[in-house]
Amino acid sequence: MPDYLHEGKRDIQGVRVSAFALNHPGGCFGYCLSKDGKKVVYATDNELEIQAGDVFPDQTDSGPLRKMPQELIELAREADLLIADAQYDDEGYVARRAWGHSSCFSATDLAIQAKVKHLVLFHHDPEDTDRGLDQKVLDCQHRATRHGAPMVVSAAREGVELKL
């Protein structure tokens, strides 16, 4: 039987791997991988729920940062790379609450609060177009810039390799 990593920490071939539960129907795990001072956090199939008092939908991108789970902020704190569920924009998320996926703006707010260096929007909606994904990236980068975060925002794409 395979040796699965559930919640907890383990060293695997020199990489410190931490697993943590995510917010998804049926359950899901995210992973934090650290080695030689570099940190990558993978948190897809995760719904960052809109909290009471958050501006949503924020059509003019003028609201404050949304409230994020403190534990998730700490897990992603100063990550070199955060690969996060950003399946929808706010409009798409409105009709799909409790499906286990996030608005790209919520993922951006998480990354800003965690002081992430590079956010990769992941788990794209199958109905999105390349142009739509490019617009999400621009909108999320604008949001980060507006909040004074010097991070890079990009979209996951097949075949792309990132070097840390």
* Domain definitions of the chain by residue range: 35-155
Nearest-angstrom CA–CA distance, 102 and 46? 7
* Residue entry with tokens 């998480």: 110
- As a residue count, the chain comes to 164
pTM of the model: 0.92
Quick one: pLDDT at residue 80?
98
2 pLDDT more than 70 = no
Tens of pLDDT, residues 62-100: 889 999 999 999 999 999 999 999 999 888 888 888 778
Cis check for the bond before 25: say yes or no (omega within 30 of 0): no
Nearest-angstrom CA–CA distance, 47 and 32? 17
